Structure 1
Amino acid sequence: MKIVCIGAGSVGLLVTAKLAAAGADVVLITRTEQQASALNESGLTLQEGDNAKVLHVPAASFERIDATGGQDMPDYRPDWVLLTVKQKHLSEPLLLTISKLLREQGRLLCFQNGIGHVDKIGRYVPPACIDLAVTTEGARRESASRVVHTGSGTTWIGCADRKDGSGDSRPEAEIAQKLMEKAMNEAGFPTFLSNQMKEIVWNKLLINAVINPLTALLRIRNGELPATGQRRQLMKELLREGIAAAEGSGVRTRDDLWEQVLEVCAKTARNESSMLQDVSAGRATEIEWINGAILDAARKGNIPAPTHDTIYKLVKAAQPAEEAGR
């Protein structure tokens, strides 16, 4: 099974490294030529606890592929393309490249946070070929070619939810999904197939919509978030409004979501959320596809979400001026 991973942030580097360490045939496509060169020259270092290993994974850059209009794109013919870039990077040129990579035989596994990306991707890739992945694995990118596995978690994969509620039940699709599940488990990621991906995606969205913006605004690590009563009150208000928006959209939510939020904070106590990292670096965040997505669902259902609205505006205000406008 041939795998191409697009995106060399923390999740992309972690998944690529673990798959390569388990013997998978995997190639990494980075955003920049500089990162691809670093990986090809020095290898990809995976740090787990006190142990570090260097994996030699072929890397190419989207920067070069895009500059040549796709003429420089190697003919990988992957069975799977793993998409680990953030939603803000889902540009038309990138999606056209993915379409060319998949051709007719491949499937796309999307690791994006938030919701709304499937509709965008589905304009370039047949919806029946799109699968979703939700993972609670923890990772931190320390350099262009080094990633630290900061915490073990669980991964779920399954068909992307279509508007008509249908999924791809063809035998070849089911076989492909089982092969990917097997590859992920062999790589050390406890992975399960699910036909309830809409609920799983929303449940993770609700957790992210609490932790990410608050840690970004308060400039604290995940473990510090529940430390005071005022912070916990904000967390609970965001979660309550998010659950109301989800249920108003016909999504079932778990009864133990509050406990899950606290568990994530504890398990990733030393981590800086991706939104905090973006705000600290002066980059655009994923607020549109996290709290913004909850606000959109709340408006459609005529459900009040004042805390999400305030948090959304504060994070937008913290972004660079050129990125702040919606």
Structure 2
Amino acid sequence: MSDKRIVIMGAGAAGSYLGAYMTKEGHDVTLVDMWGEHVETMQKQGLRASGSQGDFTIPVKAFHLSDAMQLDGDFDIGFLAMKSYDTEWAAHFLKRLVKDDGVVVSSQNCMNDQLVASIAGYDRAVGCIMSSITVALWEPGHVTRGGPPGRGRGHVVFRVGELHGRITPRVEELVDILMCVDDAKATSNLWGERWSKLTTNSSGNPVGAMTGLGSEGVASMPEARRIQINICKESCQVALAQNYQVEPIRGVSAETFSKADDGEVYEDLDAKFQPTGGGADWKSSMGQDVEKGRRTEIEFMNGYIVEQGRKSGIPTPINAAIVQVVKEVQSGERSPGPENVYRVLELAGMA
């Protein structure tokens, strides 16, 4: 067990899950969040973690954002677990809490590492990709995990890396800390891991959000799978054009996804997106946001792919179309439903 003091900025589903398991392991963890009812429940009743890894409740140190102003700047490690649209202000807040020689870890979705580093300091910034971990916070003080843990099925959930790519002692220490939650490893390819996770998120999150379906429901629609495969194709084409060494997506290389227009390749890829049968029909994090009436990260997922595609001269019509439709759902202009699949295909010129 590390003797480092840890603060988690953002006790949403991911931050709460990390905090619960780290605290259970004996680490000195402080949680900071803006949801008053959640913070108050944790203070009075502890934090409950349930789901595929068991069910327990543990006392935690939790602070509302307004009260966290009183915390000293003496933490060794700060995890940034906020939504991407909150990155800038949250990184400024978190950097004040972490020692000058401490570490600020972006454990977020999307490509926020450069922004976090520019605020917290490039010498303090480390990235952490959380791969295939499905968690939800449907009620205050209770986080739950769906789907099997990575440990035991050969999947490494946490991939921790420096922006410059070298494996350092602090990265190895973070790996050791995260091992109490699920399998973790150090990576020398942070950016390739980020693009892989961005592609996975961008192909799953918005489709579930705009349809209102869970993962099995989406997988059961051939047209939805067509959208997912083409999102991955465009994302990989953009990443490869920018010379990233993208880690495999669903066990498939970025080079293969980039050739999805080939009929035989498409058939092989479509098999990867088929229903698993018996699996949990879990709602994506963006689908959860839509259900809760919250802003989504669509601009930082598919919108980022569109933006980078423009810079690289790579067309991204399916990503642009799904950004438009999810924004309409988010604003209330359009209701979630399977019919939105056909609207995306129409906008992308694929109907």
Query: TM-score when scaled to structure 2?
Result: 0.80
Q: Are the aligned partners of 1:137 and 1:155 in contact in 2 as well (CA < 8 Å)?
A: no
Matched ranges for 1:246-285 at <5 A: 246-253=239-246, 254=248, 256=252, 258=269, 262=273, 269-285=280-296
Cα distance per residue 1:52-104 (max 9 Å; x no partner): 21111111111334xxxx3x2x1261111111111112242x32221111131
8 Å contact kept, 1:128–1:168 = no
Decide whether the 8 Å contact of 2:210 with 2:326 is kept in 1: yes
Aligned to 1:217: 210
CA RMSD in angstroms comes to 2.4
**1:220–1:318 distance in 2 versus 1, CA, 3 Å:** same
In structure 2, the residue matched to 1:46 is 49
Task: Give, in angstroms, the shift of residue 50 of structure 1.
Answer: 8.7
Q: Which segment drifts farther, 7-16 or 275-284?
A: 275-284
Q: Tell me how far apart the structure 1 counterparts of residues 107 and 195 of structure 2 sit (CA, whole Å).
A: 13
Q: Are 2:114 and 1:119 equivalent residues in the alignment?
A: yes
User: Judging changes above 3 Å, is the alpha-carbon distance between structure 1 residues 78 and 260 closer, same or farther for their aligned structure 2 residues?
Assistant: farther
The residue aligned with 1:306 is 317
Change (3 A) 1:26 1:266: farther
Question: Is residue 278–residue 284 contact of structure 1 (8 Å, CA) maintained in 2?
Answer: yes
Inter-partner Cα distance in structure 1 for 2:313 and 2:21: 44
How many residues end up aligned between the 2 structures? 304
Q: Secondary structure at the match of 1:88?
A: helix
Which residue pairs with 1:317 in the alignment?
Answer: 328
Q: Residue 80 of structure 2 contacts residue 91 of structure 2 at CA under 8 Å; is this kept in 1? A: no
- Of 294-303 and 44-53, more deviation after overlay is shown by 44-53
1:141 corresponds to: 137
Deviations along 1:173-220, whole A, 9 cap, x unmatched? x222222211111x1410000010100110011111111111111110
Q: Distance in 1 between matches of 2:279 and 2:84?
A: 22
> Match for 2:60: what amino acid?
V
Write the distance in 2 (CA, Å) between the matches of 1:190 and 1:83: 20
Output one character per residue of 1:1-22: Cα deviation in whole Å (capped at 9) or x when no partner: 1111111111011111111111
Deviations 1:96-128 (A, max 9, x none): 22111113121011111111x223223321112
Give the Cα separation in 1 of the matches to 2:271 and 2:116: 30
Q: Which amino acid aligns with 1:11?
A: A
Is 2:114 the counterpart of 1:103? no
Partner of 1:163: none
In 1: Cα distance, 2:278 partner to 2:196 partner: 17
Alpha-carbon distance between aligned partners in 1 of 2:313 and 2:288, rounded to the nearest angstrom: 33
**Local SS of the residue matching 1:119:** helix
CA distance, structure 1, for counterparts of residue 274 and residue 7 of structure 2: 32
How far apart, in 2, do the equivalents of 1:298 and 1:195 lie? Answer: 25
Q: Secondary structure at the match of 2:101?
A: coil
**How many Å separate the matches in 2 of 1:274 and 1:314?**
17
Preserved contact between residue 84 and residue 112 of structure 1 (Cα < 8 Å): yes
Equivalent AA in structure 1 for residue 81 of structure 2: T
Secondary structure at 1:81 match in 2: strand
User: For the structure 1 residues 247 and 264, does the alpha-carbon distance in structure 2 shift closer, same or farther, using more than 3 Å as the test?
Assistant: farther
Distance 1:95 1:232, change over 3 A: closer
Counterpart secondary structure, 1:256: coil
Alignment-derived partner of residue 230 in structure 1: 223
Report the counterpart of residue 160 of structure 2 in structure 1: 157
Give 2:196's aligned amino acid.
N
Paired residues of 2:47 and 2:142 also in contact (CA < 8 A): yes
Correspondence for 2:188? 195
**Alpha-carbon distance in structure 1 between the residues aligned to 2:298 and 2:99:** 32
Deviation readout 1:9-60 (Å, 9 max, x if unpaired): 1101111111111111111111134322221110001113494211111111
Q: Give runs of aligned pairs for residues 167-186 of structure 1, distance below 5 A.
A: 167=165, 174-185=168-179
CA distance in 2: counterparts of 1:99 and 1:143, whole angstroms: 29
Paired with 2:162 and 2:129, the residues of 1 have a C-alpha distance of 12
Is 1:26 equivalent to 2:23 in the alignment? no
How far apart in 2 are the matches of 1:180 and 1:250? 28
Give the equivalent residue in structure 1 for 2:61: 58
Amino acid at match of 2:104: L
What is the percent sequence identity of the aligned residues?
A: 21
Unaligned runs of 5+ in 1: 161-165
| Contact preservation (8 Å) 1:222, 1:265 | no
